[in-house]
Structures are given as C-alpha cells and as structure tokens.
C-alpha cells in the first residue's frame, strides 16, 4: 500500500507550508513546533518507561525461575 505522503514533491510541500503559514501565522508556528517537540519527547519517554518496566518484569521472572531450580 502506497502512502500519499511519500509522493509529495518540492512544490507540494511548499504549498502546504504556505497554507500552514497563512492559517497559523508566523508567530504561532514556533510555538506549535515547540509543543509538538515536547509531545514527541513525552511520548518517547513514556515508551522507554514501558520498555524498562517490561524488561524489569522479565528479569524478575527469570530470577524466580532460577531460584526454583
């Protein structure tokens, strides 16, 4: 399945950026980008925390199995 976003050329990207600039204004775009970056960082941190919890649980189970043997 092809994604439509992969077929964008330079002209299409320029038009999209101009529409975003007109819609949000030049003063709001840095704020929007900053908030987007913060959200992505929080998502990445939450994902890392979940992975660490799973890894810790697996280690605990392995220790319990080794104690029984």
Mean pLDDT by runs of 10 across the 69 residues of the chain is 63 85 84 92 96 95 86
State the pLDDT at residue 41. Answer: 96
Question: Do the Cβ atoms of 29 and 20 come closer than 8 Å?
Answer: yes
pTM of the model: 0.58
State the pLDDT at residue 69. Answer: 67
State the pLDDT at residue 16. Answer: 85
Helix-, strand-, coil-residue percentages of the chain, each rounded to 5: 85, 0, 15
Question: Taking the CA of residue 17 as centre, how many other CA atoms within 13 Å lie in the half-sphere pointing to its CB?
Answer: 8
Question: Do the Cβ atoms of 29 and 21 come closer than 8 Å?
Answer: yes
């Amino acid at each position: 399945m092809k994604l439509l976003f992969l077929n964008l050329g330079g002209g299409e990207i320029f038009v999209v950026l101009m529409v975003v600039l007109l819609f949000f204004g030049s003063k709001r775009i840095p704020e929007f980008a900053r908030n987007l970056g913060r959200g992505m960082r929080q998502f990445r941190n939450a994902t890392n925390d979940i992975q660490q919890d799973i890894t810790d649980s697996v280690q605990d189970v392995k220790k319990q199995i080794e104690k029984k043997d």
